[in-house]
Chains A and B, each alone.
Chain A
C-alpha cells in the first residue's frame, strides 16, 4: 500500500518558509497563519522553534520592526555585473519619477531581484566597483503634477479637464473624462483616460492640462468602441499587431484590424503614415476625421 503519511511539524516549517518568501511576518502573524491553515492552536514558542530551524539551515532571515523576512533567496539567479549596473540605473531613473505607486512597485520588484543576485556580484555595490549603466542620451523625466493625477486615478471620480489644443491655436478644450492611469512617454507623464462622450480612450500630456476639476460622482469606465482599419499590399503581410489590436479578417492582399486601446486622434495620425495602403473602415466619425485631417494638412500648403 502506498505510504501517504506526512510529517505535520515538517509541513508547518515549510509553510512558514513559503509564507516568508511572500511577505515579512511577525511571530504573531506566523502563528495566525499556521492556525488558519491547519485549524489547530499553537504556542508562540513553536514559531520561534521553526525560525531556529530555518536559520540552522543557513536560510538568511532578518528582523526589522518586529517582522521577519527572507534576506536572500534560497536559490540565486545568474545575474551578472551588467545586470547589477542596469539595476543601479533603474533605481536612479525611478528616483526622478514622481508617481509614487509606480515608483514603490518598481522598488519592491528590485528588492526581490536584489535578494536573488549572487552574493559576490552584490558585494560590488559595497566596494563601489560597479557604476550605474549610462545610456547614450540621458533620460530626463518631466512630471510635476503627477502626484495629483495619480490620486485622481485612485479616486476613480470623474474629471473636467481644460487641455491646451494645438489644432485650435492653443485654445483650451474642455473634456469630461474618467482618469485611468498615468504612464510615461519619452519622460513625459501622460494621463490615459476614458471619454464617455466619444466612447474612447484619450491621452493627455500632463504639462498641457491647464485646469482640472474633480467631480464628486463615481464615474464608471465604459468599454470603448473599436476602430476598424484595412491594410493592403505588402503592409498587410508585414504588419505587427500593437498592444490590444485584434486581427479580424485576412484576405489575399489585405487584412482588417480592430483597435480599441489607442487615443483615436493619435491612431488616425499613425495610420496616415501607411500612405494609401491603409483605410479606416469604422466608425464613420474616424473615416471623416482622417479626411478632415488630410484637408487641414493640404490647406497648410495651399
Chain B
C-alpha cells in the first residue's frame, strides 16, 4: 500500500502544476521573504516542481500571485533582493453585516457595565480585526469602544493597587489644572455612562474622589512614607439616601458599588426602592438628575433639598442665557 503523500503525488493524481507552483510560492513567502535563487532551490527539492525549473518560472509565478491580488515587493537592495509578501487575499473575511453584528454585540455588552468582560471582548476583537475586509472596518473593531482611550497597563496597575489598597502617585491630566501629580489610594473601579472611573481617597483634596481612568497618565506605587503618613487612615463620609425608581429608569437600573435594591414590587408604580451609600454627592446627583421624573427621593430631607437646589440652578441657566 502506498503511503498517503505518495498516493497524493502519484502521476494519475490530476492536479494543476502551475496552480500548485503559485500556491507553493505563496506559502513559502508567507513563511519569510525569499530571493529568486532561494525559491529556485525550494523548487528543486519539491517532487512535483523539481523537473521544471527556470528563472522565468519564478517571475511568471510572482506575476500570477500579484494578478490574483497579492502585494509583493520587487526584490531590491533594500529587501536584500528578496520578494516580500506584504498582503494576500486568501484569508477568510468578515462581511460588512458580520462587522455590524459584532459591533452591536459589543454595544449590548457595554450596557451591562462589566469591565472585565469588555476588556476580554476588546482583546478578542483586536485579534479578529485582521479578518476585516478593509482598514475602516478593521479600525472599528479595534478602536470603536468606550475603553479605546485607556492605557491597559495603567488600568492593570489600578486594578492591582485597588485590590491591595496601596497608595500610589498619580499623574492626572485634569481639564482644569492640566497635568498634576497627587497621591491617591484607589479602592474600586466603576463603569458609568460608557466611561471608566477609579474611586479612592485623594490626600491632596482630602476627599473620597473619582477620576476618569483615561485621563490618568501614570501610576507609581509609593514605597516610602513619612512616619505620620504610615498610619493615615481615611474615613470616608457616607450618607444613606433612599430613593424609588419607576419606568424606563427602573427597567434599565443595575446596582453598583454604593447602591443596593432594597425592595422590588412589580405591582406598584415605583417598582424599585434603592438604598444608596453616597460618598460623592456630585456623582450621586448626576445619576438622580438623569432619571428625571422616574425617580423620587424618599429620605433624607437634606437630599431632597439639595436636588431642588440643583434643579433651581439648572433652570436659572435657561432663564438667564439666550443663544
Complex: chain A residue closest to B19, CB-CB: A13
Assess whether B18 is in contact with A291, with CB atoms less than 8 Å apart: no
Assess whether B16 is in contact with A49, with CB atoms less than 8 Å apart: yes
Residues on B with beta carbons closer than 8 Å to the beta carbon of A137: 112, 114
Contact pick for B315, options A82, A230, A268, A294, CB 8 Å: A294
Binds A, one of B32-40, B64-72, B155-163: B64-72
Complex: chain A residue closest to B9, CB-CB: A56
Is B80 in the interface zone, CB < 8 Å from A? no
User: Given A83-B124, A238-B215, A275-B310, are A116 and B92 also a contact pair (CB < 8 Å)?
Assistant: yes
Assess whether A83 is in contact with B20, with CB atoms less than 8 Å apart: no
- Which of B23, B69, B296 gathers most chain A CB within 10 Å? B23
Residues on B with beta carbons closer than 8 Å to the beta carbon of A53: 15-16, 19-20, 23
Residues on A with beta carbons closer than 8 Å to the beta carbon of B9: 56
Complexed CA–CA distance, A31 and B120 (Å): 43
Is A218 in the interface zone, CB < 8 Å from B? no
Is B287 in the interface zone, CB < 8 Å from A? yes
Assess whether B102 is in contact with A237, with CB atoms less than 8 Å apart: no
Complex: chain B residue closest to A84, CB-CB: B124
Assess whether A205 is in contact with B251, with CB atoms less than 8 Å apart: yes
Interface of A is mostly: helix
Residues on A with beta carbons closer than 8 Å to the beta carbon of B23: 13-14, 17, 53-54, 57, 59
Is A226 in the interface zone, CB < 8 Å from B? no
Binds B, one of A71-79, A122-130, A150-158, A193-201: A71-79
How many residues of A sit at the interface, in one of the four size bands?
35 or more
Residues on A with beta carbons closer than 8 Å to the beta carbon of B315: 291, 294-295
Complexed CA–CA distance, A102 and B323 (Å): 43
- What is the distance, in angstroms, from A100's C-beta to the closest C-beta of chain B? 12
Assess whether A3 is in contact with B56, with CB atoms less than 8 Å apart: yes
Since A13-B19, A53-B19, A74-B90 are in contact, a sample of 14 more A-B pairs with Cβ atoms closer than 8 Å, ordered by chain A residue number, is A3-B56, A10-B19, A11-B22, A18-B90, A21-B91, A75-B91, A86-B124, A112-B94, A166-B269, A183-B104, A183-B107, A187-B108, A279-B323, A293-B293
Q: Which residues of B are in contact with A by a Cβ distance under 8 Å?
A: 8-9, 13-16, 18-24, 26-27, 30, 56, 59-61, 63-65, 67-69, 89-95, 97-98, 100-102, 104-105, 107-109, 111-112, 114, 116-117, 120-121, 123-124, 127-128, 130-131, 149, 174-176, 193-195, 212, 215, 246-248, 251-252, 254, 269, 285-287, 289-294, 296-297, 304, 307-308, 310-318, 321, 323
Q: Which residues of A are in contact with B by a Cβ distance under 8 Å?
A: 3-7, 9-15, 17-18, 21-22, 45, 48-50, 52-57, 59, 70, 73-75, 77-79, 82-83, 86-87, 90, 94, 102, 105-106, 108-109, 112-113, 115-116, 133, 135-137, 139, 166-167, 169-170, 183-188, 205, 207-208, 230, 234-238, 240, 242, 266, 268-270, 272-276, 279, 281-282, 287, 290-291, 293-298, 300-301
Show 14 A/B contacts (Cβ-Cβ < 8 Å), sorted by A.
A10-B61, A14-B23, A22-B93, A45-B14, A49-B14, A55-B8, A77-B128, A102-B105, A106-B101, A183-B108, A234-B176, A242-B194, A273-B286, A298-B311
